[in-house]
Amino acid sequence: MTLVLAGIAAFVAAIIQRITGLGFVLVLVGPIVLLYGPLEGVTIAVLLALVAASAAIPLVWRDIEWRRAWWLIWPGLLAAPVGAFVVRTLPEAALLLLVALMAYFALVAGWIPALSKALVGRSGAITAGAAAGFMHVASGLSGPPLAAHAVGDKWPQRSFAASVQVIFAVFSLVSVALRGLPTTPASDIWALVGVTAVGILIGSMLARTVPPRIARYAMLAIAWAGATVVLIRGLLAVLS
């Protein structure tokens, strides 16, 4: 049952990721952390994020802006080990709270205009990239600072959505290297990988007919519910 529920979550997250360009881990992290725990759950999430981004890159290749992506990637690579240190240091209850709080931040960051205004130009890219690298290793949720920089820097949505797939792929690869591979049986992981890849392909077909607005509504509903349940579980773990 755990594998079935995780597969459904990964499938839905992959479809939303392909339609909107963002949101894979934001949709996945709540269910996957509840099913596998904060350490193993995020480790699985970043591995599947690598699959989702890698599967999407060939589909958006022509729209990728490599130079702009690089200015976000290299600061993230420097900050990533800090995220790995935090993950190794915190107990499980604290990790649950960390994931929940980062998920809430991801959900409200777009409503903070000052954040976008602060993350402009090269200095903004460096700050956003470093924050994203740290957050990706710690929780898989690297989208908010990247999206805030894109808004503040007036990065066209089409090229940003394409370029961010490269950033997600690199950060996910580094996260897997720093966190290690999941301890879940390999057969289960391969099943989740396959479901994720299929979700990306189906999302590519649905992207022609499903408005991104509808996919964003679904993403937000699932993400808010998942973050709230993870927060409650973390609070209960602290109090127990």
What secondary structure, in 3-state letters, does 146-211 show? HHHHHHHCCCCHHHHHHHHHHHHHHHHHHHHHHHCCCCCCHHHHHHHHHHHHHHHHHHHHHCCCCC
Please state, rounded to an integer, the average pLDDT across all residues of the chain: 86
Average pLDDT over residues 229-238: 81
Supply the pLDDT for residue 196: 93
The pLDDT of residue 82 is 92
In this predicted structure, which of 71-75, 108-112, 166-170, 201-205 has the lowest mean pLDDT? 108-112
pLDDT at 64: 93
Helix (H, G, I), strand (E, B) or coil at 228: helix
**Contact present, 16 and 211 (Cβ < 8 Å):** no
Mean pLDDT of 47-58: 90
Question: pLDDT at position 203, please?
Answer: 87
Residue 80 has pLDDT above 90, yes or no: yes
pLDDT of 10 > 90? The answer is: yes
- How confident is the model over 135-159, as pLDDT tens digits? 899 888 888 888 888 888 888 878 8
Q: How many CA atoms lie within 13 A of 236 on its CB side?
A: 6
Q: Which residues contact 229 (CB under 8 A, 6 or more apart)?
A: 30, 34
State residue 27's pLDDT score. Answer: 85
Write out pLDDT tens, residues 91-148: 888 888 888 888 888 777 767 777 777 778 888 889 889 988 998 998 888 888 888 8
pLDDT at position 215 over 80: no
pLDDT score recorded for residue 208: 80
Q: Where are the domains of the chain?
A: 2-239
pLDDT of residue 22: 73
The predicted-structure confidence for 176-208, as pLDDT tens digits, reads as follows 999 889 999 999 999 999 999 999 889 888 878
Global pTM value: 0.86
